[in-house]
Amino acid sequence: MFKKIFPLVLVGAAAMAAFRFAKKGFVAKSLNVKIAGIKLYPLNSASVSLNVINPTSTAVDFNSIVADIMLNNVAFATISNVQHSVIQANSNQVINLPIKINPVEGVKLALSLFNKPQGYKVSILGSINSSDINFPINIEYTLK
């Protein structure tokens, strides 16, 4: 009898695992990340606020956010958060991240913002990482 039931148990366990990973993949693909705000002044306390929106009926937990910030297609800075966070189902969370500015690019930015403080294209490229899946971030924003 055990020989007849064991294959069914294995198939059931495999189906449950496949469903779990498929569901997490769907939830991760449904996340929407937008820039809620950018603070560049003063440069030593610059930060970016990301609004992470979870439109699904499943809570999403993640371990880190890591991204590069490009300014007019030039690597300018990085942002990172390595704290565990949970975004509840059908809700959003604004996450404030300090900007770690490349010193050389920081000086260039300060000089260029002094001369022309508007119209810069900001790109944020990175990922939100969980233990099971990584959700890519690719955001473009124009400073006004």
Q: How many domains would you assign to the chain? A: 1
Question: In this structure, what CATH number is given to the domain that contains residue 33?
Answer: 2.60.40
pTM value is 0.69
Predicted confidence (pLDDT) per residue in 16-30, tens digit = 544 454 444 444 457
> Which domain covers residue 99, as residue numbers?
2-142
Position 104 scores a pLDDT of 80
CA-closest candidate to residue 78, choices 88, 96, 66: 66
Other Cβ atoms less than 10 A from the Cβ of 57: the count is: 8
In the structure, what pLDDT confidence band is assigned to residue 90 with cuts at 50, 70 and 90?
A: very high
For 5, the token pair is 């039931």
